[in-house]
Structure 1
Amino acid sequence: MTLAPYGSWKSPISSDSIVSSSIRLGAIAIDGGNVYWNEGRPTEGGRNVIMRYDGDYSEITSAPLNVRSLVHEYGGGEYLVKDGRIYFSNFSDRCIYRKIGEGTPSPLTVEGAYRYADFVWNRSYGKLICVREDSTETGEPINTLVAVNTANGEDIQVLVSGADFYASPRLNSTGDKLAWISWQHPNMPWDGTELWLADLVESNTGVLTIQNPQLVAGGKDESIFQPEWSPDGNLYFVSDRTGWWNLYRTSAEDMTIQPLCLMEAEFGLPQWVFGMSTYGFTGDGKILCSYTQQGKSHLAILDPLHLDWGLQEIDLPFTSISGLRCEGDRAVFHGGSPTEPTAIVLLNLTTGTWQKIRVASDLQIDPHYISAAQPIEFPTENGKTAYGLFYPPKNKDFQAEASEKPPLLVKSHGGPTASTSGSLSLGIQYWTSRGFAVLDVNYGGSTGYGREYRDRLKGNWGIVDVDDCANGAKFLADKGLVDGDRLAISGGSAGGYTTLCALTFRDAFKAGASHYGICDLEALATDTHKFESRYLDSLIGKYPEQKEIYIQRSPIHFTEKLSCAIAFFQGLEDKVVPPNQAEMMVDALRQKGLPVAYVPFEGEQHGFRKAENIKRALDGEFYFYAQIFGFAPADDIEPLAIENLL
């Protein structure tokens, strides 16, 4: 092994290889035994393509079609496959497109100020039911559930209206009952939602209406996730009424609610996007479900007729499982592990055999360059415990002097109601194979540890998350695992806010990078999209009544406290965190004389999708730390313009 300082190691995991060999694996569907998925391609400008696997691979939507919805800005639920028909939302014109059999996709609806997502097809009435976001009027968009006539896309009927948000319209097998989730400001869907059920009736003139609506479950303090109809006509759903997202069902006769498997585990997820799924029904009437405990995913079978048997675990090598879909004796899901990239996995429930039909990266890496995630717990404020995934440096070709400790990059995930994943991330391995240690923090407020842990952030955003990131870094430094004088923190979106708060209000870190992060909470409260426009009510307090708290927790107002270097990476078409947020902070650092870099990206929204921008952000951040921490990168990296660098 070659002796070289941490950070200067030569790695086979380059930014070029990451973007050229990697794709984003999106929503999965299974229909008629065929598997479909939405595939994001950085090398095609971030275009999203529906793919099919039926033994062979087929590209279903060709350029310039881009299968993506921006309902709630985050989208999801952008396509539906049913009985060989495909309906999808196209990014550029916002229209619903239809593809029947091997025919060419064609627009069903007309272009306008509408967005569509979360589709379900009512075969009986020839209607496509979905969530519509209407921006034809000034002010907030109006969200409704609508029925789109598949014979005439201009015939669109509003079925349900009045709530601020809707999700998960679900039809029973006969198509005469509709269930859905709704919620009101200021709740987010993981705070409290309502599950509704109604009869669906079509008049002689073809008008579809709902009748006898009734509230099944939920409320302002109970989060409902993924309603589904079983083949025998019962309505199932996930609720966190016990403090954990567990499975329940209602009786078709009297609508009584029965828990199926109460346990301290999460069968639900924060609904940032539409179409999320953690369970489904198999051909023999059982439930295949995924759940999370202590940050690790499990897959199991639950028999509704024999609940006393409990969960029957399926032994698989995946620690991260999501997007689960079932049909007959087959299931498909996203599966990943600490040493294998996420893949679309097809599982035969009869034989127990499985195969990967698409992998997020075809980059072949010697495992001696891979740093496997190590779950850690560490003490944080008020005698509590926080969680994270630690990745020590690893590269079979290099080692550092025994007296040297590695620099640490703390990663703060977005959301903030989200969580880290232990699946192999080439973005993390990029750092560890060059000699950095990485701590991916599941700070208080993250999902996967029950509602109490999730609620730690209520009223405490910018405090609890920041403390947990700083304490995680301190924990590793005190154990001698990292260099306490070379600590950096990085995050995107809400994780960027945590990053900027940590760099402003704490003295744990010497440098950091904000990727489309928030620095002014007032600006966010008054200049963001509908979905998150009242999110800060619970995370910070009501605005403008509690304006002073917004000011106190906004890094932009306390730049005099800054004493470290920061790099900013920002999409110029970002509607979630507008670019003026980054630009205000850059100006403040520039005037203070601190090292600062600003990299704006034309044509990018919230998150980077183009290969050249993903590469630039990754290499640029590494180059930035090299200049601040004083090591020489082994790669020939395009220099980043750093102002005030001495």
Structure 2
Amino acid sequence: MTPLPYGSWPTPITSELVVTAGVRLDGVRPDGRGGVVWGEGRAGEGGRIQLVRRDADGTMTDLLPADANARTGVHEYGGGAWWLHDGVVFAVDWADQRLRRYAPDAEPVVLTPEPTVPRGDRFADGDVAPDGTWLVCVREHHPREGAPATEVVNEIVRLDARAPSEPEVLVTGPDFVAAPRLSPDAGRLAWVSWDHPSMPWDDTVLTVRDLASGTETVVAGGPGESVGEPVWQADGALHFLSDRARASAATGEEDGWWNLYRWHPDDGVTPLVVMDAEIGLPAWQLAGARHATSDDRRVVVARSSHGFDALAVRELDGTVTELDTPFTTIRSVRADGPGSVVCVAGSPTSEPGVYRIGVDGSVETLRAPRDLGLDPATISVPEPTTFPSTDAAGAPRDAHALYYPPATAHAGPDGELPPLLVVLHGGPTGSAAPVLNLGVQYWTSRGFGVVDVDYGGSSGYGRAYREQLRGAWGVVDVADCLAAAGALADAGRVDPKRLAIRGGSAGGFTTLAALARDDTPFAAGADHFGVADLEALALETHKFESRYLDGLIGPYPEARDVYVERSPITHVERFTTPLIVLQGDEDAIVPPNQSEMIVEALRRGGVPVAYLLFAGEQHGFRQAGNIRRALDAELAFYARLFGFTLPDGEHIDPVPIENLD
């Protein structure tokens, strides 16, 4: 093995491999006729989401026309853009946000009226009555072009499931509604709601209405409790997730894990699956599914512990057994007949695929991941790590991360340590996912170390950990990313002079906040559509997040001084670290002006800066060419700053860096 400088290692994991034939799997559902349907976000087709059905004999068929894109704009983050009933597909198209019915051997039927404002009525998260004649779903109404968040209305509506109809409003009043679910006899409707300034992981309410009498029952939720994912059972009970306070079996403290509960009108709410692990996920997108009940009444849950997922089964006698499968990241768990579920799952050495998993642990592959043909030595497997950090008051506490060491396919020169990328997820309630991600392996296979930080505020560690960021955004998260980099440098695993930090969205804000310090240890940074001005974000962002900063920073305008103080743009004179900024020009969540204000300030201040604006991209890049250019440009940026040469044969275009001699 010939030693090569870190960063310059040749690798088969190029930006082309990252996007070629790659898909983002967008949920999975049995179709009620022996088949299974899932969504595929295809970068090679402009990022559009196509629905694919796999029949019992293994035949796979694209279900939507070539120009369709099953994606909803509700909450801007979407989710729940399609659902099924007895072989019929209901899907929202991204272009006009109208709901369509796709029945086998029939022309598509547009079910919703044309809005007065283009894309003004957005639909999502539906459920169909058992007889297939009508459906319920979420509608987000934008009354006029560019309407402010205060004018946008979210409601639950009823529609004819077979022909065009005018939506009938069933639930209105709360700021947000989600998960409308019909009981097996279609006589009752369950839904989740919440109001500003809460987010769905803060305080939500689960309500059931008798549709005949109009009588409503509040099942669970309220201040200090986040409930979600209601699923009706054959016996009229309702299963749902809640992070209600309870004492941890391990620590005795009230950690507030998202666990599974049962409600029945006869005996109220009772625990169903209780463990010191997270079954739920933060509801950034609609129609999450982390639990299911098979036809034989056994309950299957996906649970997260220390960042790693697993499936567990609750038997009829109440015992809970964890299944032995290779998967460490699991999403979209749906019942599929007696004794099995279908789900999207992956592992540290395998990209996500679609699988049928039996309660006995058996695994059937329905949609295999790509056969990448990679030498295992090329793949870096994450190491979970816990390291000391501090809270907002400076008191000691622990934080968590996944560390990916440089791959073992090559070696660095004697006496040289690898550069480190500190990666920050969005949210900021997201979490690091221990699943094969070529966007991470792109770096580790070249000789970078990568640490994916689950800073305070991340999900997967209970409500208490998630709330460590309350009022402390830009403080606790920054402390944790500095501590993660410092711990690895102190351990002699990475080069303390070649530390870089990168993040998107909320992670982009933390990236900028970490660089807006006189004592920043970072020699380079990459800001992907991050927040530079918190006050501007509070005034300009969309409805879903328009009051989010109340909890992360403080109520606005009462806490305006804190908004100004925490904003990276306020401290631009402290910036000395070279920065690359990547932004989509159609981003409605973090508008381009957020990136442009920090770029312009660095230009004026003489700080090295590179800026790439991608046409036709929203919040996160979906088009293959743009994904490739963003990766390669960032690599070229680090190569120039850290002094390594790019591998021969990749033909990576340099990125212009202003203010760099």
Matches within 5 A, 1:552-591: 552-591=565-604
Partner of 1:43: 44
Q: TM-score, normalised by structure 1?
A: 0.96
The one-letter amino acid of 2:463's match is: R
- Determine which of 452, 469, 472 is the counterpart of 2:464: 452
Which has the larger displacement, 317-326 or 607-616?
317-326
Q: Say whether 1:80 aligns with 2:93.
A: no
Q: Say whether 1:331 aligns with 2:341.
A: yes
Partner of 1:340: 350
Partner of 2:658: 643
Please give the secondary structure, in 2, of the residue aligned with 1:376: strand
Q: CA deviation at 1:445?
A: 0.3
Q: Say whether 1:429 aligns with 2:441.
A: yes
Q: Say whether 1:230 aligns with 2:253.
A: no
Q: For the residues of structure 1 that align with 2:323 and 2:132, how far apart are their CA atoms?
A: 39
Matches within 5 A, 1:308-457: 310-329=319-338, 330-349=340-359, 352-381=361-390, 382-396=395-409, 398-457=410-469
Which has the larger displacement, 148-157 or 38-47?
148-157
The one-letter amino acid of 2:173's match is: G
Contact kept? 1:144, 1:159, Cα under 8 Å: yes
Q: For the residues of structure 1 that align with 2:66 and 2:508, how far apart are their CA atoms?
A: 33
Q: For the residues of structure 2 that align with 1:51 and 1:125, how far apart are their CA atoms?
A: 21
- Determine which of 271, 291, 294 is the counterpart of 2:306: 294
Partner of 1:206: none
Q: For the residues of structure 1 that align with 2:511 and 2:114, how far apart are their CA atoms?
A: 40
Q: For the residues of structure 2 that align with 1:147 and 1:586, how far apart are their CA atoms?
A: 47
Q: For the residues of structure 2 that align with 1:534 and 1:153, how far apart are their CA atoms?
A: 35
Q: Say whether 1:116 aligns with 2:123.
A: yes
Q: For the residues of structure 2 that align with 1:264 and 1:285, how far apart are their CA atoms?
A: 23
Q: For the residues of structure 2 that align with 1:369 and 1:589, how far apart are their CA atoms?
A: 37
Q: For the residues of structure 1 that align with 2:528 and 2:370, how far apart are their CA atoms?
A: 23
Q: For the residues of structure 1 that align with 2:295 and 2:324, how far apart are their CA atoms?
A: 20
Matches within 5 A, 1:163-182: 163-182=174-193
Contact kept? 2:27, 2:331, Cα under 8 Å: no
Q: For the residues of structure 2 that align with 1:4 and 1:595, how far apart are their CA atoms?
A: 27
Q: For the residues of structure 2 that align with 1:158 and 1:215, how far apart are their CA atoms?
A: 20
Q: For the residues of structure 1 that align with 2:270 and 2:112, how far apart are their CA atoms?
A: 41
Q: CA deviation at 1:102?
A: 3.0
Q: For the residues of structure 1 that align with 2:8 and 2:361, how far apart are their CA atoms?
A: 45
Contact kept? 2:132, 2:161, Cα under 8 Å: no
Please give the secondary structure, in 2, of the residue aligned with 1:400: coil
Contact kept? 2:85, 2:132, Cα under 8 Å: no
Q: For the residues of structure 2 that align with 1:125 and 1:479, how far apart are their CA atoms?
A: 61
The one-letter amino acid of 1:159's match is: L
Question: Deviation above 4 Å: which 4+ runs of structure 1?
Answer: none
Q: For the residues of structure 2 that align with 1:125 and 1:362, how far apart are their CA atoms?
A: 39
The one-letter amino acid of 2:191's match is: W
Q: For the residues of structure 1 that align with 2:162 and 2:100, how far apart are their CA atoms?
A: 12
Q: TM-score, normalised by structure 2?
A: 0.94
The one-letter amino acid of 1:101's match is: P
Structure 2 gaps, min length 5: 246-255
Structure 1 gaps, min length 5: 202-209
Matches within 5 A, 1:536-555: 536-555=549-568
Q: CA deviation at 1:359?
A: 3.9
The one-letter amino acid of 1:341's match is: E
- Determine which of 287, 295, 311 is the counterpart of 1:275: 287
Contact kept? 1:61, 1:105, Cα under 8 Å: no
- Determine which of 183, 197, 203 is the counterpart of 1:186: 197
The one-letter amino acid of 1:321's match is: I
Q: CA deviation at 1:127?
A: 1.4
Partner of 2:252: none
Please give the secondary structure, in 2, of the residue aligned with 1:472: helix
Which has the larger displacement, 532-541 or 23-32?
23-32
- Determine which of 457, 462, 483 is the counterpart of 1:471: 483
Contact kept? 1:187, 1:220, Cα under 8 Å: no
Partner of 2:645: 632
Please give the secondary structure, in 2, of the residue aligned with 1:620: helix
Q: For the residues of structure 1 that align with 2:140 and 2:272, how far apart are their CA atoms?
A: 34
- Determine which of 64, 67, 70 is the counterpart of 2:67: 64
Percent identity of paired positions between Structure 1 and Structure 2: 47
Partner of 1:148: 159
Cα deviation digits, residues 272-325 of structure 1 (max 9, x gap): 00111111110111111111111111211113x422xx2122110111111111
Q: CA deviation at 1:360?
A: 4.6
Q: CA deviation at 1:26?
A: 0.6
Contact kept? 1:431, 1:437, Cα under 8 Å: yes
Q: Say whether 1:219 aligns with 2:226.
A: no
Q: For the residues of structure 2 that align with 1:278 and 1:582, how far apart are their CA atoms?
A: 35
Partner of 1:128: 135
The one-letter amino acid of 1:339's match is: T
Cα deviation digits, residues 368-396 of structure 1 (max 9, x gap): 10010100110001211100000111142
Q: CA deviation at 1:263?
A: 2.1
Q: For the residues of structure 2 that align with 1:105 and 1:391, how far apart are their CA atoms?
A: 47
Contact kept? 2:345, 2:352, Cα under 8 Å: yes
Q: CA deviation at 1:125?
A: 7.5
Please give the secondary structure, in 1, of the residue aligned with 2:418: coil
Partner of 2:630: 617
Q: CA deviation at 1:124?
A: 4.3
Q: CA deviation at 1:538?
A: 0.3
Contact kept? 2:13, 2:438, Cα under 8 Å: yes
Please give the secondary structure, in 1, of the residue aligned with 2:450: strand
- Taking a change above 3 Å as real, the CA distance of residues 91 and 14 of structure 1, as seen in their structure-2 partners, is same
Q: Say whether 1:158 aligns with 2:169.
A: yes
Q: For the residues of structure 2 that align with 1:340 and 1:311, how far apart are their CA atoms?
A: 27
